[in-house]
Amino acid sequence: MHDTESNSGKMDLSRRTFLGVAASVAGGGWRAQAQGGGELEELRVPLGTPRSRVVQISAEEVVNGAIVHRSLLQEMLGKLLITVTGRPTEAAAWRSLLKPDDVIGLKFNRSGQGAIGTTNALADVLVGSIVRSGWQPEQIVCMEVPDHVQRRNGTAPPWSGFSEERSVFASGSDQLASVLDQVTALISVPFLKTHNIAGLTCSLKNLSHAMVKHPARFHRDGCSPFVGDIVALPAIRDKLRLCIVDAMRVVFDGGPTATTTTVSDEGVLLASLDPVAVDAIALEVLNDIRRRRGLAIVAEDAAHVPYLRAAHEAGVGIAVAHGIEHIVTSP
């Protein structure tokens, strides 16, 4: 299968009328709305801004329920890294993203691991890839993985607790996770799930609400603008090197809770250096799954997801299609 750029020739999005309820996640009660129920302003990309690359690689056979075809997953990850960075080899890709002395934080998502079942395999493959490329296991910190995965791979245990001082961001303040002082580089490795408050949860929310002491304080208004504002903090954004979305099995409904009846085998990985862009493409993946199942889409596009819109407006990344280079490929 040849690589394709699915939106390489798209023009700027026209203004769209957003009438009341744009989308509903069944069983969750989430709604995307414009202020006053009127027309949303078009999101713009500053002149001269390069498009953010998002790579989507698919292989249905990589999963069968919670059983993961690890050698195929390793092949998928290698091609994903080469394509997203434009480097000739997997090792060269990591060298373009990481420094030799980095302490690398792999931020997984504990919520839903049991029902989804892909974390252990992806953690093993990711750590193996980084180690083969020249880093030591002791330089890698796996966050929110089972203890036996950490022991098996010989990675460093993550620091627990939170900083004593509060960090101030545009829409609030809170204490940040101590692990942010331990690591010098971050890789976000989220699941893709619907979310009854935010609409969806993916790379951005994997970094925002898990890294503050009081996440419940930042869920109102669709978690907007809190998600983007927290990720924009230098302690997070300046360390973020890559986002790899585990969409091998997707929570397509009723999320963020994962159940055996709401998880779909999709065999997809997404990668980008831009956490907003990768969430925007993840929304498209999620909408496609829901359409196939006869369910309402989550939202028309990323501009209609409050936290994604706010993150784009805050300059955290790109949320509009004409600002994203979306490459679809296979192993």
Structural domain of residue 285, as residue ranges? 53-329
User: In the structure, what pLDDT confidence band is assigned to residue 38 with cuts at 50, 70 and 90?
Assistant: low
The reply to whether 19 falls in a domain is no
Q: What is the DSSP letter of 109?
A: -
As a whole number of angstroms, the distance between CA 104 and CA 125 comes to: 15
CB-CB contact of 307 with 224 (8 Å): yes
As a whole number of angstroms, the distance between CA 278 and CA 268 comes to: 13
CB-CB contact of 19 with 33 (8 Å): no
Give Cα separations from 124 to 145, 154, 227, 287, 306 (angstroms).
11, 11, 28, 29, 34
Indicate if the pLDDT at residue 12 is higher than 90. no
Predicted local confidence at residue 13, as pLDDT: 27
Lowest mean pLDDT among 41-55, 162-176, 300-314: 41-55
CB-CB contact of 281 with 96 (8 Å): no
- Residue 265 vs residue 47, higher pLDDT: 265
Looking at the DSSP assignment, which residues form a beta bridge with residue 269?
57, 246
CB-CB contact of 160 with 154 (8 Å): no
Give Cα separations from 194 to 24, 28, 213, 235, 296 (angstroms).
10, 9, 23, 27, 12
Indicate if the pLDDT at residue 30 is higher than 80. no
The reply to whether 203 falls in a domain is yes
Q: What is the DSSP string of 133-149?
A: TT--GGGEEEESS-HHH
Predicted local confidence at residue 4, as pLDDT: 38
Beta pairing, strands 24-25 & 4-5: unpaired
The pLDDT tens digits of the residues spanning 219-262 come to 999 999 999 999 999 999 999 999 999 999 999 999 999 999 99
Residue tagged 């390069």 (tokens): 50
The reply to whether 164 falls in a domain is yes
The reply to whether 34 falls in a domain is no
Token reading at 46: 């500053």
The count of C-alpha atoms lying within 13 angstroms of the C-alpha of 148, restricted to the half-sphere facing its C-beta, is 3
**Sign of CA pseudo-dihedral 213, 214, 219, 224:** negative
**Sign of CA pseudo-dihedral 223, 226, 232, 233:** negative
The pLDDT tens digits of the residues spanning 183-201 come to 999 999 999 999 999 999 9
Token reading at 234: 């230098």
> Residue 21: CB partners within 8 Å, gap ≥ 6?
31, 32, 33
Predicted local confidence at residue 19, as pLDDT: 25
CB-CB contact of 244 with 188 (8 Å): yes
Looking at the DSSP assignment, which residues form a beta bridge with residue 150?
none
- Beta-carbon neighbour count of residue 110 at 10 Å? 12
What's 282's domain CATH number?
3.40.50
CB-CB contact of 4 with 282 (8 Å): no
Q: What is the DSSP string of 169-199?
A: ETTEEEEEETHHHH-SEEEE--EEEEETTTE
User: In the structure, what pLDDT confidence band is assigned to residue 40 with cuts at 50, 70 and 90?
Assistant: confident
Number of domains in the chain: 1
Token reading at 136: 């030591």
User: In the structure, what pLDDT confidence band is assigned to residue 28 with cuts at 50, 70 and 90?
Assistant: very low
Average pLDDT (260-279) is: 97
Predicted local confidence at residue 43, as pLDDT: 92
User: In the structure, what pLDDT confidence band is assigned to residue 41 with cuts at 50, 70 and 90?
Assistant: confident
- What pTM value is reported for the model? 0.89
The reply to whether 117 falls in a domain is yes
CB-CB contact of 272 with 243 (8 Å): yes
The reply to whether 28 falls in a domain is no
